[in-house]
Amino acid sequence: MENILQISHLNKSYNGIPALKNVNLSVRAGEIHGLVGANGSGKTTLMNILFGQPVIHETGGYQGEIAFAGRRIEFKNCSQAISCGIGMVHQEFALIPDLTVAENIKLGREHTLAFTDRLLGRQFSYIDNRHDRASSLQALRKLGIELDPDIKIMDLSINLKQFVEIAREIDRTDLRLLILDEPTAVLSQDNSWMLLEILREMSGRGIGILFISHRLEEIQAVCDRVSVLRDGELVARYEKNHIHINQLARDMIGHSVIKAAAGKRKIEARPLITFRKFSVAMPGEEIKNLDLNVYEGEIIGLTSLPGHGKLALGYGMMGLYPVAGEVWFNNERIVRMDAMDNIVKGIYALPDDRQGLGILADQSLENNIVFTANQAKNMFSRSSLFPFLSMLDHRRTVPHVEKMVQDFDIKCASFKQKVRELSGGNQQKVCIARALTAEPRLLFVAEPTRGVDISAREKILSMLIEINRTRNMTIVFASSELDELQRVCDRIAVMVQGKIFKILSPDSPEVDFALALSGETGMDDDV
């Protein structure tokens, strides 16, 4: 098979700090080529170069040669890449918030009424909405999801956005090379496997595929070849049948990972927070009449299929969507959901939408980590007399930030670097660091390991366990990664259609979880 893509001697640096060093890589037509590497190793940078992203130009371009379908290319902008038949599923999504699902999927490829097309040309032909809705539904169905095509993107949860982002690309018929930057980071296992099936089918049609993932099992299952990036250098390449997960992990991070695991224990404490008939009106992720007790000092897992409400609890506690029902925290009824009030009371909810809600993109790493703690509790102000007027006390912030950067292995040029410039996984780590800095009594986390590499994932999990044990921080941990929940949680609540369907102990057998997730009662009694 011929090479559809040939990259040779590619170098790229940001402000003098190298991100890619002498990278050589090729993708054959009809091949699925995996790309793995720790957070900040340069994967997204490489994809951005291939796709002609403006950020590459703005930061001084790159050196090296790229050939696509035998022709040397140097894209000035993304539309050149798109018209060559290159598609990209972006790590941080490229969706237009005010347009609907169907409009986003079909953007630039809308069906139009044929006679206006002839009459007025491509740009000014009338869009056939019905046709567009139908074909976007079809693309979404291939991914195993039913979604109202008329919802605006801004009303969707992160994992639904991920589906739309993928559907936009698989709906294209002119693709020759498809780049996927961590498309499965927020998908459930079932949906991920469906996507992998589609990728196989696409590669069968001769489309070259570059696939980035931190889930090495997926890489092993689907890739024809895999390349490993470490600190911007290509350090290894394996052919199918020679891909071993442990080997990959060692190549990526230079040591093997120790899996975090909490010891088993029985929590017998009073409820710290109680939900009664609690509802959250989050589109596509509603909670309806949920009843739940969370005991002081426990880590409780929340899981569900996408769209069944596991993510909405945290959003509801931040007051981002209308809520109904009763919430009792520490024997006190919470009447109004207000993020700031709740933080002051000791409740912090870390959303899964890091781009929209989690980070202050244009602020420094340092400010991001101490922001909440300082706003709510003045933990880092210079004067406690006039906290609102006083500046940050760098003598206290710097050591703390240093510790966080070390604990989580956040890859950055300096503490003053804007968070926008960090890699996706490192932004995620910043969010976690900020939540832990605020030292809440009750922490809601949603998909905390989204997009972080295998080593950082374990660090985050063991940090959650440690802080729970030493500071007695109660944690509500929403995730679609059952394996993580099983290792960390004391109890796991399975949600179906916005209600708690069943609460299982973490060492219950797989089948029980599978049955509960799909809403069928198994043999076991509730815990």
Partner 1 sequence: MKAKAPLNCYFNHERIVPAVFLVLSFLAWQISGLTGSFVLNQVITRFIRDGLLVLALIIPVVAGMGLNFSITVGAMAIQTSLLLVIAYNIEGVPGILLVMVIGIFLSVLLGYVLGRILNRVKGKEMITTIIIGFFVNSIYQLIFLVGFGTVIPVFNQEIILTRGIGVRNTVDLGMYRNTIDKLWLFSIGEIQIPLFMILIVLLFAGGIYYILHTRFGRQVQAVGSAAETCAVLGIDTDRVRIKVMILSTVLAALGQFIYLQNIGMFDVYTAHLNTGIISCAALLAGGASIKSAKVRQALLGIFLFHTLFIVSPQAGQHLFRNAALGEYFRSFVAYGTIALALIVNVGNENRPIQRK
Residue 294 backbone phi and psi in degrees, to 5: -115, 120
The yes or no reply on residue 145 touching partner 1 (CB under 8 A) is yes
Query: How far, in Å, CA of 323 to CA of 342, rounded?
Result: 15
| Amino acid found at 113 | L
x/- string (CB under 5 A) for Mg ion, residues 80-99? -----------x--------
Q: Which is nearer to partner 1, 79 or 472 (CB)?
A: 79
Query: How far, in Å, CA of 194 to CA of 206, rounded?
Result: 19
Least distance (Å) between residue 325 CB and ligand ATP: 38
The yes or no reply on residue 448 touching ligand ATP (CB under 6 A) is no
Tokens coding 239:
């052919």
Q: Find which of Mg ion, partner 1, ligand ATP, none residue 503 binds, CB within 5 to 8 Å per kind.
A: none
With contact defined as beta carbons under 8 Å apart, do 154 and 137 qualify? no
Q: Find which of partner 1, ligand ATP, Mg ion, none residue 426 binds, CB within 5 to 8 Å per kind.
A: ligand ATP
Compute the CA torsion angle 343, 348, 352, 356 (nearest 10 deg): 10
Residue 383 burial (10 A CB sphere; 0-12, 13-18, 19+): exposed
With contact defined as beta carbons under 8 Å apart, do 82 and 174 qualify? no
- Show Cβ contacts of residue 349 under 8 Å, excluding neighbours closer than 6 positions: 314, 315, 317, 318, 339, 342, 443, 444, 446
Q: Find which of ligand ATP, Mg ion, partner 1, none residue 54 binds, CB within 5 to 8 Å per kind.
A: partner 1
If binding means CB under 6 A, how many residues of this protein chain bind ligand ATP?
Answer: 22
Q: Which is nearer to partner 1, 304 or 397 (CB)?
A: 304
Least distance (Å) between residue 392 CB and ligand ATP: 23
x/- string (CB under 6 A) for ligand ATP, residues 376-415? -----------------------------------x----
Q: Which is nearer to partner 1, 305 or 343 (CB)?
A: 305
Listed ranges 31-39, 151-159, 202-210, 265-273: which one lies at the site for partner 1 (CB under 8 A) = 151-159
Q: Which of 82, 422, 438, 485 is the binder for ligand ATP (CB under 6 A)?
A: 422
Q: Which is nearer to partner 1, 55 or 258 (CB)?
A: 55
Identify residues 53-112 at the interface with ligand ATP (CB under 6 A): 55, 59, 91
Q: Which is nearer to partner 1, 283 or 522 (CB)?
A: 283
Instruction: Encode 255-284: b = buried (16+ Cβ within 10 Å), e = exposed.
Output: eebeebebeeeeeeeebbbbbeebbbebbb
Query: How far, in Å, CA of 159 to CA of 389, rounded?
Result: 40
Torsion-angle region of residue 97: left (phi > 0), alpha (psi -120 to 50) or beta? alpha
Q: For 147-198, what is the HEC assignment?
A: CCCCCEHHHCCHHHHHHHHHHHHHCCCCCCEEEEECCCCCCCHHHHHHHHHH
Q: Which is nearer to ligand ATP, 18 or 283 (CB)?
A: 18
Q: Find which of Mg ion, ligand ATP, partner 1, none residue 19 binds, CB within 5 to 8 Å per kind.
A: ligand ATP
The yes or no reply on residue 144 touching Mg ion (CB under 5 A) is no
Compute the CA torsion angle 466, 468, 473, 476 (nearest 10 deg): 120
Q: Which of 17, 60, 63, 97 is the binder for partner 1 (CB under 8 A)?
A: 97
The yes or no reply on residue 306 touching Mg ion (CB under 5 A) is no
Query: How far, in Å, CA of 376 to CA of 420, rounded?
Result: 24
Listed ranges 68-76, 383-391, 419-427, 478-486: which one lies at the site for ligand ATP (CB under 6 A) = 419-427
The yes or no reply on residue 281 touching partner 1 (CB under 8 A) is yes
Least distance (Å) between residue 352 CB and partner 1: 14
Query: How far, in Å, CA of 415 to CA of 403, rounded?
Result: 12
Using CB under 6 A, list all residues that contact ligand ATP.
14, 19, 37, 39-45, 55, 59, 91, 411, 421-426, 451, 453
